[in-house]
Amino acid sequence: MREKVKGILFDLAGTIVHSRYREAISFICEKLKVENQKEIISEFLKELKEIIYCQKEFKPILDITSSSFSKFGIKLSTNEIFNFYKQYIEEKTFVFEDALNFLENLKEKDLKLGIISNSDDKIVEYTLKFHDLKKFFNFIVTSEKAKSYKPNKRIIELAIKLYQEKPENLILIGNSHVDIKTAKNFNIFSILILRSRKELQKVFEVKPNLIVFDLRTLNDLL
């Protein structure tokens, strides 16, 4: 662990809060009672991956969700989509116990804490508000603000600018290979919280600086 740690960047979904796009789209499909759930989820993930990895024009999550449903004849405005996301957050998401304990412990340390999320402003803000998490963080960086998704350099550049710290003084904690790639783009110390064995192979490829299975194990290291 680096000695001069002055700030920590946290991924949100899957790291601090249980939340998945696949699950959210499935939730919306069930609320709408649509039959082609798998196809809509597949369309959403396909478009998101094309934007992230094929450098297609940026679109916020709410717009991607709306267009994915639209391709199957289901017309929903982004406001209607957001209302479904709010219901999903309220009914299906929860804060990981180890994450809450770790955040509480960090309150007493002189560190700047931030969120860096591949999501929209409104979705992140509502998630933090609903789970009473906003009090822990000094700032929030979303893909919508940066007009790019992790691991694109623009989103991490914005975070570094807000921190006003050198990358070598920061730590990024996330639950996926995308988070680790984001950190490595700027030589930021990366910590992977391994909550899913599905990430194991991809994780070995990107080689995080540290792997933990419970964020509480970091309490004595920071």
**Residue range 104-156, pLDDT digits in tens:** 999 888 899 999 999 999 999 999 999 999 999 999 999 999 999 999 989 99
The CATH classification number of 7-18+94-218 equals 3.40.50.1000
SS3 content of the chain, % helix, strand, coil (to 5): 55, 15, 35
- Name 140's bridge partners: 115
Rounded Cα distance between 215 and 187, Å, is 21
Question: Rounded to two decimals, what is the model's pTM?
Answer: 0.93
Q: Where are the domains of the chain?
A: 7-18+94-218, 21-92
> pLDDT-derived band of residue 208, with 50, 70 and 90 as boundaries?
very high
In this prediction, residue 1 carries a pLDDT of 57
By C-alpha distance, which of 95, 133, 116 is closest to 170?
A: 116
Which of helix, strand or coil describes residue 107? coil
Mean pLDDT of 40-48: 95
Rounded Cα distance between 173 and 119, Å, is 16
Q: 5-9, 23-27, 123-127 — which is least confidently predicted?
A: 5-9
Rounded to 10 degrees, what is the CA torsion of 182, 65, 62, 24? -80
